[in-house]
Structure 1
Amino acid sequence: MILIIDDDAIVRSSLSLLLKRAGYETEALASPEAALDFVRHTSPDLMLMDMNFSLTTKGEEGLELLQKVQVFCPTVPVILITAWGSISLAVRGMKAGAFDFITKPWDNRQLLSSIETALELRTRKTINGLPQTRRELDALYDFSSIIGQSEALINVLSTVARIANTNASVLITGESGTGKELIAEAIHKNSPRKKQQFVKVNLGGVSQSLFESEMFGHKKGAFTDAQADRTGRFELADKGTIFLDEIGELDTTCQVKLLRVLQDQTFEVLGDSTPRKVDVRVVSATNADLPQMVREKTFREDLFYRINLIQVHLPALRERKEDIPLLAQFFADRQSAQNRLAAISFTSDAFELLQTLPFPGNIRELKNLVERTILVSGKNRITADDLRGQTTIQEIVTPSATVQGMTLDTLEAQTIRNAIEQHNGNLSKAAKTLGISRTALYRRIEKYGL
């Protein structure tokens, strides 16, 4: 049963009719007092709650009601109802524990999708017996492109298994090179949208001037260089999934434009004033500290809460060292197949060496090191010495050196310093050697004062 709390009789009537047609049982109440009396003896499956119950629009009554109903129904998801101009109020509600927010006038399809997602996630949280091992996960889900069986990775895959079948927006966080795109693809491949498009957009590579054309498309003649019609990424992803990589690189002007389409999944093609609707699931990824960017006012708080309904954090490779041999062998097998080489193996000391390296570039750096060693050595059996000849961190892999007492930050800083020196200050080449982006390298240079 869904509890509707709104002092507007028309809103209560409209929501009740919509939800009953969708097959839900409803109860509609007009005041915070009535709502509190209700939840004292009955626990609904979900609540739709207005944020304003007086002539003022500050929403304090709504926030107070949210806190009180959570005392009686702590596991019941709450979806807030607010006006577009009061999104900051909805953000306060999200901080206080609300599941989602919708703006008036709402889109029926979007509202029903949010309700379905909230109920689905609540149900899955209460289900016992979810897969606990890699074998159990692989028997039920398609994780074929993801290598590893460490506890840290299993925790990530278990989360993906729980959320894949919903429409919840997902934010994937983690250092550069940890495999965020593969996790995004896994979410799509295990969802009801798997037969539709999975559209990838690297927002770090989209300029402000081209953002609308790239994301929403344009009509021929919309601007000087518009020689033909162009279909935008959101339209390409209709009925499927759009993956917004490097979302932390988006400037604030473009963040506003993105927020509007994520809010109601409606956009306008440049040169065409007719609004178009799409049905897309949004998966975002970043290696940036978005909460810090929100505090610094460089990333919109309302956009952060819109994309961050579910967060999946990928561990760094140094936090899942037991997966390194599996990953190294996987990259070696793929390299031998692509270049028609004989089967390639590693000595035990080679695997032991790989597990001692800090890998600031994570899986991408491991891949580069393995492939470079195979091609340069020309050998079918890779030893620790072969790897030493290709790594940029000689000082921690020679017999006379030791990592005892050194922090990971110290190791990472030294690795970056060596890479920069190796390439005579060329940061592009240093970033490529480390297996990280130039942006990620700049952040680390600033972090360590290099």
Structure 2
Amino acid sequence: MILIIDDDAAVRSSLSLLLKRAGHEAEAVASPEAALDFVRHTVPDLMLMDMNFSLTTQGEEGLELLRKTRVFCPGIPVILITAWGSITLAVRGMQLGAFDFITKPWDNRQLLKSVETALDLGNRKTVTDIPKTRQELDAQYDFSAIIGKSGALINVLSTVARIASTNASVLITGESGTGKELVAEAIHRNSTRRNHRFVKVNLGGVSRSLFESEMFGHKKGAFTDAQADRVGRFELADKGTIFLDEIGELDLASQVKLLRVLQDQTFEVLGESRPKKVDIRVISATNANLTEMVKKRTFREDLFYRINLIQIYLPSLRERREDIPLLASFFAAQQSLQNRLPGITFTSDALELLEKLPFPGNIRELKNLIDRTILISGKSRIDAGDIRAQLIMPEGNNASKEIPGEMKLEELEAQTIRQAIEQYGGNLSKAARVLGISRAALYRRMEKHGI
């Protein structure tokens, strides 16, 4: 049962009719006092709550009601209803534990989607039969592109299993090279949208001037270089999933435009005045600390809450070292297939060495190292010496020495970065490339280690 809390009789009537037509049982009350009286004796499955009950409260009464209902119904999702100009108020409500916010005038389809997602996720919190091992997960879900069986990875895949079939927006965080795109694809592949498009957008590579054309499309003649119609990424992803990679790189002006689309999934093609609607699921990814960016006002807080309904942290390779042998064997098998090489194996000392390396570039760096070692050594059985010869460290320096057992991972990472920079004469682009990380990621690690 869904509880509607709004002092406007027309809103209560409209929402009640909409929800009942969609097959939901709905009850409506007109005041905070009536709402509190209701939840004292009945626990709803979800609440739709207006944030303004008078002209003088500026939303404070709504926030106070949210706090009080959370006491009586701590696990019940709340969707806030507010005006577009009061999104700051909605963000405060999200900070207090609200599930989502809808702006007036709302879009019926979008509101129902938010309701269904909230109810679905609420039901899944009580589900206890989510598989706990890699074998059990693979029997029910398609995770074929993700290699590993460590506890840290199983936690990620279990979360994906729980939320894949919902429409919840997902934010995937983690260092560069950890496989965020693969996890996004796994969410799509295991969702009800699997037969529609998975559209990838690297926002770090979209300039501010081309953002609207790239994302929303344009009509021929909309601007000087518009020689033909262009379909935008959002339209391409209709009925499917759009993956917004490196969302932390988006400038503030583009963030506002993106927030508008994510709010009601409506946009205007450049050169066309009629708005278009799409039905998409949004998955975002970043290696930046968005919470810090929000504090520094370089990332909009309202956009952060809009994309961050479910957050999945993808562990670094250092946090799942037991997966390194499996990944190494997988990349070796790929090389064998691509270059028609005989089967390639690793000696035990080679695998031990791989497990000790810091891999600041994570899985991407591991793949580069394995590929380089196989192609240059020309051997079908790789030993530790073959791998050392392809490390960043120049031969005759520290490359021939075993990694000191007492050296901390942080120190080892710093040493590897220094040697890469030294080897390429201070050329950070080349150092980042051989480390398997982006230039921006290299800058962050240099700052972290005081290099």
Give me the TM-score of the superposition, normalised by structure 1.
0.98
Which residues in structure 2 correspond to 1:155-234 (within 5 Å)? 155-234=155-234
Question: What residue is the counterpart of 1:415 in the other structure?
Answer: 416
Partner Cα separation in structure 2 for residue 207 and residue 412 of structure 1: 32
Which residues in structure 2 correspond to 1:70-81 (within 5 Å)? 70-81=70-81
- CA deviation after TM superposition for structure 1 residue 445, in Å: 2.0
Please give the secondary structure, in 2, of the residue aligned with 1:126.
coil
Q: Which runs of 5+ in 1 are unaligned?
A: none
Quick check: 1:5–1:12 contact (8 Å CA) kept in 2? yes
Partner Cα separation in structure 2 for residue 208 and residue 410 of structure 1: 38
1:117 equivalenced with 2:122 (yes/no): no
Please give the secondary structure, in 1, of the residue aligned with 2:55.
coil
Question: What residue is the counterpart of 2:298 in the other structure?
Answer: 298
Aligned residue type for 2:356: T
Quick check: 2:389–2:399 contact (8 Å CA) kept in 1? no
- CA deviation after TM superposition for structure 1 residue 393, in Å: 4.6
- CA deviation after TM superposition for structure 1 residue 409, in Å: 2.5
1:434 equivalenced with 2:435 (yes/no): yes
Count of equivalent residues: 449
Aligned residue type for 1:362: N
- CA deviation after TM superposition for structure 1 residue 396, in Å: 6.9
Quick check: 1:353–1:397 contact (8 Å CA) kept in 2? no
Partner Cα separation in structure 2 for residue 229 and residue 306 of structure 1: 30
Aligned residue type for 1:94: M
- CA deviation after TM superposition for structure 1 residue 449, in Å: 2.7
Question: What residue is the counterpart of 1:6 in the other structure?
Answer: 6
Residues 395-437 of structure 1 deviation map (CA, whole Å, 9 limit, x = unaligned): 7764465141x33332222211111111111111111111111
Please give the secondary structure, in 2, of the residue aligned with 1:80.
strand
Residues 215-259 of structure 1 deviation map (CA, whole Å, 9 limit, x = unaligned): 000001111110000000000000000000000000101000000
Residues 135-166 of structure 1 deviation map (CA, whole Å, 9 limit, x = unaligned): 00000000000000000000000000000000
Quick check: 1:198–1:243 contact (8 Å CA) kept in 2? yes
Which residues in structure 2 correspond to 1:1-150 (within 5 Å)? 1-56=1-56, 58-150=58-150
Give me the TM-score of the superposition, normalised by structure 2.
0.98
Partner Cα separation in structure 2 for residue 239 and residue 251 of structure 1: 27
Aligned residue type for 1:48: L
Quick check: 2:245–2:285 contact (8 Å CA) kept in 1? yes
Aligned residue type for 1:99: F
Aligned residue type for 1:402: P
Aligned residue type for 1:449: G
Distance 1:136 1:154, change over 3 A: same
Residues 359-398 of structure 1 deviation map (CA, whole Å, 9 limit, x = unaligned): 0000000000000000010100000000000012577764
Q: Which runs of 5+ in 2 are unaligned?
A: none
155-164 vs 423-432, which deviates more? 423-432
Question: What residue is the counterpart of 2:404 in the other structure?
Answer: 402
- CA deviation after TM superposition for structure 1 residue 352, in Å: 0.5
Partner Cα separation in structure 2 for residue 102 and residue 318 of structure 1: 40
Partner Cα separation in structure 2 for residue 22 and residue 390 of structure 1: 61
Please give the secondary structure, in 1, of the residue aligned with 2:356.
coil
Partner Cα separation in structure 1 for residue 353 and residue 285 of structure 2: 31
Partner Cα separation in structure 2 for residue 57 and residue 226 of structure 1: 49
Partner Cα separation in structure 2 for residue 124 and residue 346 of structure 1: 42
Partner Cα separation in structure 2 for residue 14 and residue 413 of structure 1: 61
- CA deviation after TM superposition for structure 1 residue 439, in Å: 1.4
Quick check: 1:46–1:78 contact (8 Å CA) kept in 2? yes
Question: What residue is the counterpart of 1:381 in the other structure?
Answer: 381
Quick check: 2:356–2:403 contact (8 Å CA) kept in 1? no
Please give the secondary structure, in 1, of the residue aligned with 2:41.
coil
Distance 1:163 1:401, change over 3 A: closer
Partner Cα separation in structure 1 for residue 111 and residue 398 of structure 2: 55
Partner Cα separation in structure 2 for residue 307 and residue 104 of structure 1: 19
Question: What residue is the counterpart of 1:269 in the other structure?
Answer: 269
407-416 vs 6-15, which deviates more? 407-416
Partner Cα separation in structure 2 for residue 147 and residue 396 of structure 1: 31
Quick check: 1:4–1:29 contact (8 Å CA) kept in 2? yes
Partner Cα separation in structure 2 for residue 103 and residue 310 of structure 1: 20
Please give the secondary structure, in 2, of the residue aligned with 1:122.
helix
Quick check: 1:372–1:390 contact (8 Å CA) kept in 2? yes
Please give the secondary structure, in 1, of the residue aligned with 2:172.
strand
Quick check: 1:396–1:402 contact (8 Å CA) kept in 2? no
21-30 vs 392-401, which deviates more? 392-401
Question: What residue is the counterpart of 2:252 in the other structure?
Answer: 252
Residues 100-150 of structure 1 deviation map (CA, whole Å, 9 limit, x = unaligned): 000000000111000100111111110112100000000000000000000
Partner Cα separation in structure 2 for residue 259 and residue 307 of structure 1: 9
